[in-house]
């Protein structure tokens, strides 16, 4: 019998030589530093914009003369360019600069946050800053608008609003009503209720939508009555991209009544017209009504942070997301409620009231409208209409043919559609070149110049803008066209 013995592993161990670990060094590409970016000249900026951002957009910037300018800094109502030129900002980032540029209180709040190394992303924990901002927004909102979702943009806030409305309405009422000439964002969901062929392009958008005319209450009632699957209606209180278009008070009051009657949820898009711009915190407050859901963005971040918010009635919110099972369906994303962004927004809301900027928007906005109406009376063949509320104002020019001498009108009128926006473009370009004033335009009615200056705007800023526009229009249309053409060949 053979006996097998077990090797003694306790006294001898096999050793294997491991290869030496090599430290991998990732080669650093040729990167631009912060200081090099700051020192970049216009030519280099243009090359990089064309190569890496949007070469097609550069065409329009060149038409308006914007491509020649490098902004070195900005303060209050002004941009300051590479030559020290102070450009009066009546554009206001489409309503994103309620406090002007670099408001000192906002800078201080952000600096303190950074110096104390407070937390930015608190997804795993509750954030005192997100909670405080949500509380403040609820306090600023009328009625029972008190449940808040925080995001990073107006599109994100409106996505949240539409999703909330659809869930609260229920699966048997999935249809969403929207208005002609509406703009609710460029992200895929709200693209279905953004009424612009340019933005929609050939994207496949959601088909559970119904389009109706804006400010037509009979159309609303017909639509509600004829289609029981409608659960939500989404409207800008003041249409921005449509050309600063308003509906009368009776429209909003009847809309509220019809929504209650038919059980339809009303989402008020206040991304551009809200946050004090109209002379009230929300534009719908002018009409004594409260929607079921609303959305803010633009100046909510104080011009220093990207912040958007959806604010909903608690009853509606709980119907959509009120149980542990449904709570995470649309919870905040990674960058929703970031610490420094929330601190900026908290301080901005306090500044808005401490400095009386909502009231200033109402008073200075009335003064701006009065001065522009006087200009319309002075140039009735050029200015078709002045409209707006607070510091959200549209200045509409006549079609190009109507501004010309009578003998030329029949010939040019056939080109009016192709020339739409040309006069507003000429005026905008020359205001910047010759008067150091920046204005904006609208997406759908290209004959409209859009004026959304910061809410810190004073009468002297209005006077400077109106006097510049008066001086430019006094040249006459033929001279304006010649001056613009000369600017393109220099």
Task: Please name the residue that has the structure tokens 């990732």.
Answer: 26
Q: Residue 216 and residue 179: Cα distance in Å, rounded?
A: 9
- Structural contact between residues 335 and 185, judged by C-beta atoms closer than 8 angstroms: no
Average pLDDT over residues 161-169: 98
Predicted confidence at residue 333, as pLDDT, reads 86
**Domain extents for the chain?**
71-101+357-489, 104-355
- Give the range among 105-119, 329-343, 369-383 with minimum mean pLDDT: 329-343
Say which CATH architecture domain 104-355 belongs to.
3-Layer(aba) Sandwich (3.40)
CATH (residue range 71-101+357-489): 3.90.1150.10
Q: Chain centroid to CA 430: how far?
A: 25
The 8-class DSSP code of residue 307 comes to -
Average pLDDT over residues 52-60: 91
Work out the mean pLDDT of the chain and round it to a whole number: 92
The answer to whether 184 and 242 are in contact (CB under 8 A) is: no
**What's the confidence (pLDDT) of residue 478?**
83
Q: Is residue 127 within 8 Å of residue 339, measured between CB atoms?
A: yes
3-state DSSP assignment of residue 206: coil
- pLDDT given for residue 399 in this prediction: 83
Residue 325 has a pLDDT of: 94
The answer to whether 219 touches 178, Cβ cutoff 8 Å, is no
Q: Residues 8-24: pLDDT tens digits?
A: 555 556 666 666 667 78
Distance of CA 19 to the CA centre of its chain: 58
Q: What is the pLDDT of residue 93?
A: 95
Structure confidence by residue, pLDDT tens digits, 189-237? 999 999 988 899 999 999 999 999 999 999 999 999 999 999 999 999 9
pLDDT digits (tens, 9 = 90+) for 64-93: 888 899 999 999 999 999 999 999 999 999
Distance CA 423, CA 480 (A): 9
Q: Which residues contact 288 (CB under 8 A, 6 or more apart)?
A: 249, 253
The per-residue pLDDT for 486 is 76
Rounded to two decimals, the pTM is: 0.92
| Average pLDDT, integer, range 25-29 | 92
| Per-residue pLDDT reduced to its tens digit, 268-321 | 999 999 999 999 999 999 999 999 999 999 999 999 999 999 999 999 999 999
pLDDT-derived band of residue 411, with 50, 70 and 90 as boundaries? low
Sign of the torsion angle spanned by Cα atoms 426, 95, 270, 183: positive
Query: Does 401 score more than 80 pLDDT?
Result: no
From CA 199, how far away is CA 196, in angstroms rounded?
6
Angle between helix 339-354 and helix 357-378 axes, rounded to 10 deg: 70
């Amino acid at each position: 019998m053979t006996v097998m013995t077990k090797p003694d592993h306790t006294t001898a161990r096999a050793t294997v030589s491991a290869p030496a670990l090599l430290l991998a060094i990732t080669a650093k590409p040729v990167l631009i530093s912060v200081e090099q970016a700051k020192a970049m000249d216009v030519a280099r900026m243009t090359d990089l914009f064309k190569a890496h951002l949007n070469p097609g957009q550069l065409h329009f910037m060149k038409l308006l003369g914007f491509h020649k300018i490098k902004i070195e800094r900005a303060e209050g109502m002004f941009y300051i360019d590479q030559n020290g030129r102070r450009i009066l900002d009546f554009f206001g980032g489409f309503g994103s600069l309620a406090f002007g540029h670099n408001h000192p209180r906002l800078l201080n709040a952000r600096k303190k946050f950074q110096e104390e190394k407070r937390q930015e992303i608190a997804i795993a924990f509750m954030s005192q800053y997100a909670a405080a901002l949500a509380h403040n927004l609820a306090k600023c909102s009328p009625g029972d608008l008190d449940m808040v979702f925080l995001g990073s943009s107006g599109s994100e806030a409106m996505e949240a609003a539409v999703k909330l409305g659809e869930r609260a309405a229920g699966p048997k009422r999935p249809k969403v009503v929207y208005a002609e000439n509406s703009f609710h964002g460029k992200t895929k969901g709200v693209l279905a209720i953004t009424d612009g062929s340019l933005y929609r392009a050939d994207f496949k958008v959601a088909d559970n939508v119904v389009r109706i005319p804006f400010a037509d209450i009979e159309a609303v009632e017909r639509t509600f009555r004829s289609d029981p699957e409608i659960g939500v209606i989404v409207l800008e209180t003041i249409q921005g991209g449509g050309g600063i278009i308003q509906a009368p008070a009776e429209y909003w009051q009847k809309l509220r009544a019809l929504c209650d009657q038919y059980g339809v949820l009303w989402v008020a898009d206040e991304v551009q017209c809200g946050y004090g711009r109209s002379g009230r915190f929300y534009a719908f407050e002018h009409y004594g009504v409260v929607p079921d859901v609303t959305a803010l963005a633009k100046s909510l971040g104080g011009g220093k942070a990207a912040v958007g918010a959806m604010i909903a009635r608690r009853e509606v919110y709980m119907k959509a997301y009120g149980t542990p099972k449904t709570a995470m369906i649309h919870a905040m994303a990674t960058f929703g409620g970031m610490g420094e962004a929330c601190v900026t927004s908290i301080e901005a809301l306090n500044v808005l009231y401490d400095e009386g900027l909502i009231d200033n928007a109402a008073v200075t906005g009335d003064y701006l409208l009065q001065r522009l109406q006087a200009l319309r009376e002075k140039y009735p063949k050029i200015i078709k209409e002045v409209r707006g509320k607070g510091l959200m104002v549209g200045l509409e020019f006549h079609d190009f043919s109507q501004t010309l001498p009578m003998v030329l009108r029949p010939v040019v009128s056939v080109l009016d559609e192709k020339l739409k926006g040309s006069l507003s473009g000429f005026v905008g370009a020359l205001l910047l070149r010759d008067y150091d004033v920046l204005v904006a335009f609208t997406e759908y009615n290209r004959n409209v110049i859009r004026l959304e200056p910061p809410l810190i705007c004073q009468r002297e800023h209005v006077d400077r803008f109106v006097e510049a526009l008066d001086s430019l229009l006094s040249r006459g249309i033929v001279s304006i066209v010649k001056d613009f053409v000369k600017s393109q060949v220099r």
